[in-house]
Amino acid sequence: MLDLKQIEINKISKYLQEVANKLKVQLKADGHFATGTTEKSIKVVSTGGAVKIRGLDSINKLTYGSPPQTTTNLYLEIIKWVSVKNIKVVNTKQFAILVTKKLQKFGYKVPNKWNDGLSVSKVVNTNKIQSDIQKIAGDEVALQVQSELIKNLKK
């Protein structure tokens, strides 16, 4: 956690909000938003002297893929995804069952033919963020922020 003066927190929060907004735009441009859940999850959180960009694990899955999944509502998510993406199938429920079983058994790899896995890295460049925060709040704070970003993105 970062212990920052309130003025630094405000400046860094504003900067990270710009990064978060750019991330949302990039993910949408790359066709990664379907139901809106991931987009709504991307937020800048400031608590107790710490400032972070937070989001659902689905953001990491866009970059790294996913191991076999045991999500209980995966079937319902697939039904919604098919509808939002306007995927034409003969039987939506049967299609969702097959996709759900495949994801539960195998997960999925990134990059693949639909996703190059680069959407996040097009916006979230830790060296650039470190440099920008260094300009805002100084060297020590920038090193702490870089450490937090790397830790959070590699979860």
pTM of the full predicted structure? 0.78
HSE, CB side, 13 Å, CA atoms: give it for residue 121. 8
User: 2 CB contacts (<8 Å, ≥6 apart)?
Assistant: 49, 50, 51, 141, 144, 145, 148
Could you read off the pLDDT of 95-121 as tens digits, one per residue?
A: 999 999 999 999 999 999 889 999 999
Segment-wise mean pLDDT, segments of 10 residues, the chain, 155 residues: 66 92 94 86 83 88 90 88 92 96 94 92 87 78 63 59
* Identity at 42, one-letter amino acid code: I
